[in-house]
Amino acid sequence: MALREIIILPDRQLRLVSKPVEKVTTEIRKLADDMFETMYDAPGIGLAAIQVAQPLRLITMDLAKKSEDGETRPQPRVFINPEIVSSSEELSVYEEGCLSIPEYYEEVERPAQVRIRFTDLDGKVHEEDAEGLFATCIQHEIDHLNGVLFVDYLSKLKRDRVIKKFTKAARRAAE
């Protein structure tokens, strides 16, 4: 496993539409392992391959919560070629953040429940219902695969402000 660099707004790669994973290979498994290491180190709960500059339809996620004894037991999940097959009309609002837009959080409204189809690391296709944090996180990460960021759901004023802030920071870092 290896830590990978997370690309940060305004990097144009974040706007790429990721390509489907043709076959679950050793390289795909290694990428997933690297993504978990990177995600846990950040720390975050979800990561799309495009965020580590790999334009593939691959997501890692771990929504583990602390148990009653105070321990957090990892629950790593991999979603290959995930797609939303249906979503509820009911909406929910969660405060979202993003490893590619560090230390910026805003409330985003999304469908409260979604049904997803995806392939796992064994090449098996699954369908699953998601709600709560899982629904929010999977929608957020699938958006990444389509070149969409959570700030795209904000008002133009807020979105422009955050993009300008990160563009300035990138310019200063390059000097």
Residues annotated as part of the active site: 141
CA proximity to 49, closest of 169, 125, 147:
147
Dist. CA 134–CA 126, nearest whole Å: 16
φ/ψ of residue 115, rounded to 5 = -110, 130
Dist. CA 3–CA 1, nearest whole Å: 7
